[in-house]
Amino acid sequence: MPTLPAKPRIALDGSLTDWIASERIDYNDLSGYSFYAQPQDDRFYFALSAPTAIGPNTTFWLNTDQNTATGYQIFGNAGGAEYNVNIKTDGTVALYSGAAGQTLVLDNLQIAYSADRRTIEFAIPKAAIGTPPVIKTLFDVNDTVFGPTNYSAQPYIAYDNNVSRTDPSHKIGIVYSATTAAHYFSPTAYSQLFMAVQSQAMQAGISFDTFGKDIIADFAASGAAHDIINIRANPMLNSFAAVMSRATQVGTSVVIAQNSANSITLLNTSRSSLSSADFRFV
């Protein structure tokens, strides 16, 4: 069962190597474009990659109250944007209310361009836009390409990650099915889907458990290149002692069973070869 890789911190440098797939918020609906959003510290970060240089009059519309009836009506009938981020003729950007670039709210937002200007990253202080939990976003590039093409269609949605929950006792369960993965169009895409669900739960501030039956065929318990099993936020398998209390030798395999529905099977492994160095609990 795949778990989330460590999330790199976002740096505004015009490169998207610090963004991960689950932070992408467009729908692959505009050929050649990808749009990302992620909160970090006291800012919302956005990144856009385009097949053309991103220049002046490029606008990002922010509907921060999720109500399309309030805020600026783009084309007279869409968006309901409380704020917009607009690129000026000198390439700097500022935050505005009203029409694109109309009423200055905050000048000189942080922005970085790639050398060919086809990629930008920028940051908006959360407090400058009222610290919304959700931002519904639309954009145009150079007043020419519109994302989404129909501004009344589903907007691109950015989430803050410290949304308060009304009932913290509830969790969600995310089920990884090896059977479904095998039938999905690509096992890699299924893993990405699975990780995206975890990421979205984390962004929404909802704790989760992941479930599945894993079979690990090439586990190396010892040696310099031994494998490490990462067990994330599991209430039962939360220490090496807990793992060993649930680990049994079944023929040539070790089965670590959480319950009848969830287990990890290590093929061709001896229970006595397992050590605490083989496990990590996060």
Instruction: Give the binding site for Ca ion (CB under 5 A).
Output: 11, 13, 15, 18, 57, 59, 63, 65, 67, 70-71, 80, 100, 140, 143
Nearer to Ca ion, 87 or 229 (CB): 87
Smallest gap from Cβ 11 to Ca ion, in A, equals 5
State in angstroms the smallest separation of the CB of 56 from Ca ion.
Answer: 9
Nearest CB to Ca ion, comparing residues 13 and 42:
13
Q: How far is the CB of 16 from Ca ion (least distance, A)?
A: 6
Query: With contact defined as beta carbons under 8 Å apart, do 40 and 32 qualify?
Result: no
CB nearer Ca ion, residue 63 or residue 210: 63
84 vs 253, beta carbon nearer Ca ion: 84
- Please count the other Cβ atoms lying within 10 Å of the Cβ belonging to residue 69: 7
Residue closest to 129 by CA, chosen among 66, 62, 59, 79: 62
Report d(CA 13, CA 119) in Å as an integer. 10
CB of 144 to Ca ion, least distance (A): 9
Dihedral-angle region of residue 201 (phi above 0 means left; psi in -120 to 50 means alpha; beta otherwise)? alpha
- Of 123 and 254, nearer to Ca ion (C-beta) is 123
> How far is the first Cα of the chain from the last one, in angstroms, to the nearest whole number?
15
CB of 165 to Ca ion, least distance (A): 24
DSSP assignments along 194-239, one per residue: HHHHHHHHHHTT--EEEE-EEEESS---SSTT---EEE-S-SSS-S
d(CA 67, CA 77): 13
DSSP 5: P
State the virtual CA torsion across 216, 222, 227, 228 in degrees, nearest 10: 110
Closer to Ca ion by Cβ: residue 2 or 71: 71
Closest approach, Cβ 17 to Ca ion, in A, equals: 7
DSSP string, 66-91: S-TTSSEEETTTEEEESEEEEE-TTS
Q: Name the residue nearer to Ca ion (CB basis): 103 or 230.
A: 103
